[in-house]
């Protein structure tokens, strides 16, 4: 069966009873959205703070390819497997964006027999969190133009407005627009643009905030532009942050759903790791750590992007202490990195696999050496994998001093990942140290960027034109203590998406920098990355449909 058919056939249990039975969460602490989704109250999360934390496990992956790696599927399968072993485990995932669901990537609820459900709801409107984030972001945009129209008491320079608008859809036509056309009644004409909602600073704040008060304070710190004297103008100067927080007061509560095996899962927040920090919300992760003995979470795309930001942004900001990492790889993806054609990935090709293993090796060494985490390699099994291919991957990882485990959770659910779960439990038990950051807080912004590029991407250096370099220097004077959020292609260690494997000695060109003062980091855009994606020639939306009874098909 297809993923959606498997999900629709699932025997779901009412979420209120499941939460109370598994973790003692009384129904009054949950706000149900139908029978199978609920939000957990912030007051209840606060009441858990005296409990000890469980063990935090990060699931990351090699550099993504069209062949697929299965990070979310592995997160779900590992969580189910740990529960099968008697370990109280909750998984923490990000919410899917509508853009990729209707574009090329598809949803983010897992796959096969390792999914979270209700799959259609999660992949579409879910509990409305993304709509609330988009509304809060665009309210601020509207208040900016309204302020200028009514006299501009703050002396905001229309040429220096940095706050764009957002929509949760891939729409390349909105990347650069002109607003204010149609005469004086419609405001001042100026250039503007749209980002996808997941790239919004409001999304980042939403995911990093620890309370409603913290959320409102962070929203107030958003720098939306500058005056004619180059002084920063913040959302609080426009008195916008209170209304923005009001729009988000329900969305900030973490969402609870379940896996196909009826284990609890948090799905909350959804920034992309190539254009944002790529991790689920701090509030969901903290709640899970207080409720469970093991928490399995994911970070977006490869370990050079999501995992780096998980360590250097999320863990740094929230004081989280991960105990182990799982690096997901597939034989198919490694063969692609080794030069195999996309239509030949189902055939055995030990030569291409051997060449592609350099990608896995770079990621593995980054995790163990740069991030300081023990790492278990998960070989996410595909039916066309041959014994020789699996043996080659296992031997390579063993030569690095690690362990690779073949997992069949896509086909077998938690039962297919029990060996992986046992290896992860052992890695956590053996870990006597703490994770490391890639750079120190007191390094200048330029040096932080260079540290990520050289230590993680294998680059020789970073470059920027005079304008961007000047912006970095200006930001460093006031914001140099902040971490950096690198935005680049997810397909390669370089800024060239066609440079597969493990390119080294390249130069990372910095095209743009953006201050995210409310989120607490500086976004650095490298190469040609777009913060508003476009739809492919044949978007997935063409295959999604609904019948007369409301049954959805075509989602994946």
User: Among this protein's residues, is 330 annotated catalytic?
Assistant: no
Q: Are 426 and 294 in contact (CB under 8 A)?
A: no
In sequence order, the β-bridge partners of residue 77 are none
User: Among this protein's residues, is 94 annotated catalytic?
Assistant: yes
Other C-beta atoms closer than 10 Å to the C-beta of 439 total: 18
Name the H helices within 366-434.
Answer: 387-399, 409-412, 418-430
Q: Are 137 and 531 in contact (CB under 8 A)?
A: no
Indicate the length of the chain as a whole number. 556
Structure tokens at 344: 């030949």
Q: Which of 37, 71, 165, 218 is catalytic?
A: 71
Q: Which of 135, 273, 333, 464 is catalytic?
A: 273
User: Among this protein's residues, is 423 annotated catalytic?
Assistant: no
Distance CA(247)–CA(119), nearest Å, equals: 25
Q: Which of 94, 164, 165, 362 is catalytic?
A: 94
What values do phi and psi take at 454, rounded to 5? Answer: -85, -45
Taking alpha carbons only, the member of 427, 304, 327 closest to residue 379 is: 327
> Exposed, middle or buried by CB within 10 Å (0-12, 13-18, 19+), for 478?
exposed
User: Among this protein's residues, is 526 annotated catalytic?
Assistant: no
Q: Which of 266, 310, 410, 446 is catalytic?
A: 410
Q: Which of 105, 286, 317, 448 is catalytic?
A: 105
User: Among this protein's residues, is 229 annotated catalytic?
Assistant: no
Reduce the DSSP state of residue 462 to 3 states and report it.
strand
Q: Which of 73, 210, 330, 531 is catalytic?
A: 73
User: Among this protein's residues, is 266 annotated catalytic?
Assistant: no
User: Among this protein's residues, is 73 annotated catalytic?
Assistant: yes
Structure tokens at 502: 């493990």
User: Among this protein's residues, is 236 annotated catalytic?
Assistant: no
For Cα atoms 95, 169, 449, give the angle at the middle one, nearest 5 degrees: 70
Q: Which of 102, 382, 493, 521 is catalytic?
A: 382
Distance CA(141)–CA(224), nearest Å, equals: 9
Q: Which residues are catalytic?
A: 71, 73, 94, 105, 273, 301, 382, 410
């Amino acid at each position: 069966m297809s993923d959606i058919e498997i999900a629709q056939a699932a025997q779901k249990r009412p979420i209120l009873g499941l939460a109370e039975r598994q973790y003692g969460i009384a129904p009054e602490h949950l706000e149900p959205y139908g029978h199978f989704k609920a939000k957990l109250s912030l007051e209840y999360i606060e009441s858990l703070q005296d409990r000890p934390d469980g063990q935090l496990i990060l699931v990351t992956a090699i550099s993504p390819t069209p062949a697929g790696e299965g990070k979310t599927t592995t997160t779900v399968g590992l969580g189910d497997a740990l529960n099968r072993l008697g370990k109280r485990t909750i998984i923490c995932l990000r919410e899917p964006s509508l853009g990729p669901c209707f574009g090329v990537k598809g949803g983010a609820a897992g796959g096969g027999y390792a999914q979270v459900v209700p799959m259609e709801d999660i992949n579409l409107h879910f509990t409305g969190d993304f709509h609330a984030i988009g509304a809060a972001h665009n309210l601020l945009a509207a208040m900016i133009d309204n302020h200028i129209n009514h006299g501009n008491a703050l002396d905001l320079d229309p040429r220096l407005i940095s706050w764009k608008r957002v929509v949760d859809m891939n729409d390349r036509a909105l990347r650069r627009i002109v607003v204010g056309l149609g005469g004086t009644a419609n405001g001042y004409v100026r250039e503007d643009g749209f980002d996808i909602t997941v790239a919004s600073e409001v999304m980042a704040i939403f995911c990093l905030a620890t309370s409603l008060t913290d959320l409102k304070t962070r929203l107030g710190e958003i720098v939306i532009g500058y005056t004619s004297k180059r002084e920063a103008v913040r959302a609080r100067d426009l008195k916008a942050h209170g209304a923005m927080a009001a729009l988000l007061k329900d969305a900030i509560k973490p969402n609870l759903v379940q896996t196909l095996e009826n284990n609890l899962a948090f799905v909350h927040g959804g920034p992309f790791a190539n254009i944002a920090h790529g991790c689920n919300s701090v509030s969901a992760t903290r709640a899970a750590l207080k409720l469970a003995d093991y928490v399995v979470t994911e970070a977006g795309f490869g370990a050079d992007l999501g995992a780096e930001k998980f360590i250097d942004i999320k863990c740094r900001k929230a004081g989280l202490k991960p105990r182990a990492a799982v690096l997901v790889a597939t034989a198919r993806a490694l063969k692609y990195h080794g030069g195999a054609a996309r239509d030949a990935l189902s055939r055995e090709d030990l030569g291409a696999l051997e060449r592609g293993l350099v990608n896995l090796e770079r990621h593995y060494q980054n995790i163990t050496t740069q991030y300081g985490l023990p790492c278990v390699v998960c070989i996410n099994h595909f039916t066309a994998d041959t014994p020789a291919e699996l043996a080659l991957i296992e031997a390579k990882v063993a030569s690095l001093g690690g362990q690779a485990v073949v997992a069949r959770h896509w086909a077998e659910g938690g039962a297919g990942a029990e060996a992986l779960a046992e290896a992860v439990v052992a890695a956590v038990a053996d870990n006597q140290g703490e994770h490391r950051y890639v750079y120190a807080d007191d390094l200048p912004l330029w040096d932080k960027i260079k540290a990520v590029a050289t230590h993680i991407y294998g680059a020789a250096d970073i470059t920027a034109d005079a304008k961007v370099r000047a912006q970095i220097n200006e930001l460093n004077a006031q914001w140099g203590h902040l971490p950096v959020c690198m935005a680049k292609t997810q397909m390669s260690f370089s800024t060239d998406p066609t440079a597969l494997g493990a390119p080294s000695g390249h130069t990372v060109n910095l095209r743009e920098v953006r201050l995210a003062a409310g989120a607490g980091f500086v976004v650095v855009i490298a190469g040609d990355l777009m913060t508003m994606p476009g739809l492919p020639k044949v978007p997935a939306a063409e295959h999604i449909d609904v019948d007369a009874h409301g049954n959805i098909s075509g989602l994946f």
